């Protein structure tokens, strides 16, 4: 159906007196039937091309065992041992920094080209939650804005061939007494408050700096600014691998590749329920594979980004060529999310064979932007998606935060969803474009939403195509 414009259907499909509880994620949801994987043809023919363009890092076959530098793995402060191991690897031309079984406390770890931080099974890295350790400031991107700020806990800048691997645990050390209170009043911490040391003044000042085109090197937001660092950030790097590790209790976003080319995130677990604890946020990156991961987070599970407002348009680098497959999403604001820092655009995203479910999962698929963020967002393909319990199934919202208050209309088109199955949702759709800039080419096919409290809303969409879609057991076709 085309020309679907200004039609709202907020009425409930059925008077649902009581919606049965959804199955728990780990057992029943995983057992849900999935359609067989389709062949890689048509638009999906790009996937093999993307995968062939992603290069794994080449790390020299030499190890630098942390215990050889004096670490004991007995919960001591191992900061100096990490720094020595990285420096020796640098001087040798690269290699693996091996963290053997044991518990190690540390400040920030800065990797360099041709190095791999390997956290062996039974090893635990616990970052010390003392903000002064994460200075001097480094170049970073915070909520889509470039600045000089607290060092990410694991960080690399302008490095080629860099990796974080192993079956060990990495704990960012954040909780409702350290790091997270800087958010200010939030729903994650009962003791949170907007009084005292919070990010609010610095966040506003950074946004003003960005809008006024203050040079990045003059945007100083270290000590006294209270802008929390991510747990892992590889910035302007090529050939990145993050594999196998479990990452917990991040001060801010958990895994945040920025302006990288060739990123593989594979078989990791992110478990962080603090404010803004996104699982994996590739931002302004090209050629990205995220597969086999488990996301259980206090914010979005995967959020694809490309910079915020004027600063995102200044850098002007989209995130493109992203493959997400065989992942599990539990708690989070959204399973697969595009935005909200999306001013540089997002294109060529392919998600398949993923499972999402949790009473605390707000949205399955979500695009969030507005007239200040804008962004060219197109060629987004989703198939073979199994959702157990979620609040909203599909969300495309131009009215996020500032809404229709800006001069940069989003340009969103060619969004295709096929073979989606959802057991239970409060609402099927929340899709709202602008009358002057409608969403174009939204296609939903061969999909089942078995229980939905309401249809929701679709507004300002042209080129809406619905084929073989059932909601509450009945064929659905917009009127």
The catalytic residues are 299, 333
Nearest to 361 by CA among 383, 378, 326, 385: 385
Instruction: Name the residue with tokens 């402060």.
Output: 77
Half-sphere exposure of 41 (CA within 13 A, CB side): 2
Report how far residue 393's alpha carbon sits from residue 372's, in angstroms, rounded to the nearest whole number: 25
Altogether, the residues listed in the chain come to a count of 479
Report in angstroms the alpha-carbon separations of 311 from 68, 139, 144, 306: 44, 14, 8, 10
Task: For 74-231, list the strands marked E by DSSP.
Answer: 74-77, 95-99, 102-106, 109-110, 115-119, 123-127, 138-142, 145-149, 154-157, 160-166, 169-171, 220-221
H-state helical runs in 297-376? 309-315
Structure tokens at 436: 């002057």
Burial 455-470 (b: 16+ CB within 10 A, else e): bbbbbbbebbebeebe
Nearest to 245 by CA among 169, 153, 327, 161: 169
């Amino acid at each position: 159906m085309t020309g679907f414009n200004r039609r709202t259907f907020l009425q409930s499909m059925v008077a649902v007196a009581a919606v049965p509880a959804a199955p728990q994620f780990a057992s029943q949801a995983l057992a849900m039937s999935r359609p067989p994987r389709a062949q890689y043809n048509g638009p999906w023919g790009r996937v093999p091309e993307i995968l062939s363009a992603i290069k794994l890092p080449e790390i020299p076959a030499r190890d630098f065992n942390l215990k050889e530098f004096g670490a004991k793995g007995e919960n001591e402060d191992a900061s100096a041992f990490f720094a020595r191991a990285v420096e020796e690897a640098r001087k040798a031309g690269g290699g693996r920094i091996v963290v053997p079984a044991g518990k190690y406390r540390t400040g920030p770890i800065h990797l360099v080209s041709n190095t791999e931080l390997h956290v062996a099974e039974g090893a635990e890295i616990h970052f010390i939650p003392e903000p002064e350790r994460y200075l001097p400031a480094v170049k970073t991107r915070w909520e889509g804005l470039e600045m000089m700020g607290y060092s990410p806990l694991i960080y690399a800048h302008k490095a080629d061939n860099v990796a974080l691997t192993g079956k060990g645990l990495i704990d960012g050390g954040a909780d409702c007494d350290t790091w997270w209170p800087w958010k200010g009043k939030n729903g994650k911490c009962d003791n949170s408050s907007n009084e005292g040391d919070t990010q609010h003044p610095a966040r506003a000042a950074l946004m003003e700096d960005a809008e006024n085109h203050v040079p990045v090197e003059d945007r100083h937001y270290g000590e006294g600014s209270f802008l929390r660092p991510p747990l892992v950030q590889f910035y302007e790097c090529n050939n990145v691998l993050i594999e196998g590790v479990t990452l917990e209790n991040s001060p801010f976003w958990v895994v945040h590749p920025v302006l990288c080319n060739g990123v593989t995130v594979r078989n990791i677990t992110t478990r962080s329920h603090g404010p803004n604890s996104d699982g994996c946020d590739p931002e302004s990156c090209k050629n990205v594979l995220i597969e086999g991961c488990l996301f259980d987070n206090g914010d979005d599970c995967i959020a694809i980004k490309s910079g915020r407002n004027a600063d995102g348009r200044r850098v002007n680098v989209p995130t493109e060529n992203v493959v997400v497959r065989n992942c599990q999403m539990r708690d989070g604001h959204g399973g697969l999310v595009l935005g909200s820092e999306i001013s540089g655009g997002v294109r060529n995203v392919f998600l398949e064979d993923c499972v999402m479910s949790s009473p605390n999962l707000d949205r399955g698929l979500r695009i969030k932007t507005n007239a200040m963020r804008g962004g060219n967002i197109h060629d987004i393909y989703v198939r073979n998606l199994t959702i157990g319990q979620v609040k909203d199934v599909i969300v495309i919202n131009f009215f996020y935060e500032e809404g229709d208050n800006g001069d940069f209309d989003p340009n969103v088109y060619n969004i295709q969803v096929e073979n989606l199955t959802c057991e239970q949702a409060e609402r099927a759709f929340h899709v709202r474009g602008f009358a002057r800039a409608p969403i174009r080419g939204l296609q939903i096919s061969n999909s089942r939403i078995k229980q939905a409290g309401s249809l929701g809303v679709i507004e300002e969409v042209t080129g809406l195509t619905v084929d073989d879609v059932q909601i509450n057991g009945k064929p659905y076709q917009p009127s």
